Amino acid sequence: MSDVYIIGAGETKFGELWERSLRELAVEAGLKAVENAGIYSRDVQILYGSNSLAGIINGQENIGALISDFSGIAENHIPAIRIEASTASGGAAVRQAQLAIKSGEYDVVMVGGVEKMTDVYGSEILDLTSSVLDREWEAFFGATPAALAAITARKYMTDFNVDKEALAMISVNDHLNASKNPDAQYKNKITVEQAMSSTPVAEPLNLMDCSPITDGAAAIILASEKYVKKNKIDGVKIRSSADAQDYLAVHSRKSIYSLESTRLAGRLALEKAGLKLDDISFVELHDSYSIYGLLELEELGFADHGHAKDLVQDEIKLNGRIPVNPSGGLKAKGNPFGATGVGQFVEAYRQLKNKCGERQVKGAEYAMLHSMAGTGAMSVVHIVGGQ
Ligand code: COA
């Protein structure tokens, strides 16, 4: 099977982009990726569109056809397919795209992720984002993603004697890194005190523990080894890719704070890559809530259960032992569901090409990218970089 390389990447700014439509965002990111790859749109043989909620937020389904039409590639008649896996859509779409290349069917594939979330009222978006949960057993009874993250945080903090400051440090680190990322939604640095005294959302979580509602798009171009060699392209290798599923409803899982899908996908990705955790230069985590940042560090093996708190003071910083979210993460770069996971690849591509300026992780060789659906129903982990 062919190795797969990222040969181009592009994204829009993430944020409240009221003047831009869903299709405009998708096309901007796609064109940036094509231009960055130095190819023509007609070279793309299949398009995977990653999107989660456009059907219910924007009343627009058939996202693959929409992007293909509006970006002017419909005349090429290539397949354009939407991949939906809630907030893990981006990671899932990249996984399917690289499998399509490995199958030998395609040499050049585009993955474009997009979400336009800020065009509806706050109360409405709360209900719409709750559709990534189990509607009948969770959302119907009033559970929202924030409420479930809060219950999870409460139990974890009690069982492992973790204080709120440890959660806040995840967000402080995200905001610090985002202050160096021109594409990020929130570029303001925050202190632990500011994070802990921000508006309560769902006790013990405050505003600064929550990822925001975001518009944005991101795209990457993947290519086969044959294509890369023939065209002498210096791509970034996708070293491994793995995914795993868990129960949809939190109450069915092993425990309220176990993220089994993350643990399994992470372990499998490392195994397939033939690497050890020590080889990873930085990790992009799906920290939709600060509590998940801590739990994911543990499930991915960077700390024992209850001990991610020992990493948050120094080790997760850009110059620390395991830099976390150089992009600014979901908390501060933003979380436009379908674009979030693809955006992680954009960051990794730029980091591994040493193009991230002030937020560059020095000597970055391997990146671990973690995409998670909702409260953990599915996770996709990729490792990129190396020869
Ligand atoms: N972090 C930092 N600032 C935020 C923010 C966040 N997460 N969310 C909103 N803000 C800011 C806004 O920019 C705005 O600032 P301004 O007054 O200077 O313009 C202010 O807070 C109020 O914004 P508003 O949009 O009215 O906030 P809200 O109260 O409607 O929404 C949340 C806040 C936390 C409820 C919302 O962001 C949310 O639901 N986030 C979680 C999304 C989610 O669940 N994702 C994962 C699903 S699995």
The whole-angstrom distance between residue 276's C-alpha and the CA centroid of its chain comes to: 22
**Phi and psi, residue 252, nearest 5°:** -90, -10
pLDDT category at 74 given cuts 50, 70, 90 is confident
Cα gap 23→12, rounded to integer Å: 12
What CA–CA distances, in Å, run from 351 to 39, 313, 318, 321, 326? 21, 23, 12, 16, 9
- Residue to probe by mutation, ligand 1, list 53, 131, 171, 207, most atoms within 8 Å of CB: 207
H or E segment to which residue 32 belongs: helix 22-37
Domains detected in the chain: 4-121+214-237 (3.40.47.10), 143-211+239-385 (3.40.47.10)
Per-residue confidence band for 73, with pLDDT thresholds at 50, 70 and 90: confident
- Tell me the two tokens of residue 279: 């080889």
Identify the CA nearest to 345 among candidates 299, 303, 385, 288.
Answer: 385
What is the per-residue pLDDT across 125-164, written as a single tens digit (0 to 9) for each? Answer: 999 999 999 999 999 999 999 999 999 999 999 999 999 9
Quote the pLDDT of residue 315.
Answer: 98
Tokens in use for 243?
């995914």
Helix %, strand %, coil % of the chain (to 5): 40, 20, 40
Contacts of 297-304 spanning 24+ positions with Cβ under 8 A? 297/322, 297/324, 299/258, 299/259, 299/260, 299/262, 299/263, 299/266, 300/262, 300/263, 300/266, 300/368, 300/370, 300/381, 301/263, 301/266, 301/267, 301/270, 301/277, 302/277
Q: From the CA of 46, how far away is ligand 1's center (Å)? A: 35
Q: What is the pLDDT of residue 71?
A: 83
Instruction: Report the nearest-CA residue for atom 4 of ligand 1.
Output: 212
Q: Ligand 1 center to residue 212 CA distance, Å? A: 5
Pairing of strands 205-206, 366-373: unpaired
Cα(330) to centroid of ligand 1, in Å?
12
Confidence of residue 387 (pLDDT cuts 50, 70, 90): confident
CA 301 from centroid of its chain's CA atoms: 19
Q: How far is ligand 1, taken at its centre, from the CA of residue 246, in Å? A: 28
pTM confidence score: 0.98
CA of 77 to the centre of ligand 1 (A): 40
Q: Ligand 1 pocket test: pick from 121, 185, 208, 213 the residue with the most ligand atoms within 8 Å of its Cβ.
A: 213
- Distance CA(20)–CA(40), nearest Å, equals 24
**How many whole angstroms separate alpha carbon 292 and alpha carbon 174?**
13
Strand ranges inside the chain, DSSP E: 4-11, 46-50, 80-83, 108-115, 200-202, 205-206, 216-224, 236-245, 282-284, 366-373, 378-385
Helices 89-102 & 337-352 angle (0-180, nearest 10): 60
Residue 356 clears pLDDT 90, i.e. is over it:
yes
User: What would the pLDDT profile of 212-260 be if each residue is shown by its tens digit?
Assistant: 999 999 999 999 999 999 999 999 999 999 999 999 999 999 999 999 9
CA distances from 286 to 86, 229, 255, 267 (A): 12, 33, 19, 16
The Cα 235–Cα 222 span in angstroms is 9
State residue 36's pLDDT score: 98
pLDDT at 39: 96
Q: Is the pLDDT of residue 353 over 90?
A: yes
* C-alpha span between 13 and 250 (Å, rounded): 33
Euclidean distance between the first and the last CA atom of the chain, given in angstroms as a whole number: 16
Give the model's pLDDT for residue 72.
82
Percent of the chain with pLDDT over 70: 100
CA dist., res. 268 & res. 275, Å (int)? 11
Taking CB atoms and a 6 Å cutoff, what residues make up the pocket around ligand 1? 87, 122, 126, 129, 132, 145-146, 186, 201, 207, 210-213, 288, 335, 374
pLDDT in tens, 300-348: 999 999 999 999 999 999 999 999 999 999 999 999 999 999 999 999 9
What's the pLDDT at 70?
Answer: 87
Phi-psi region for residue 367, left (φ > 0), alpha (ψ -120 to 50) or beta? beta
At 235, the amino acid letter reads: G
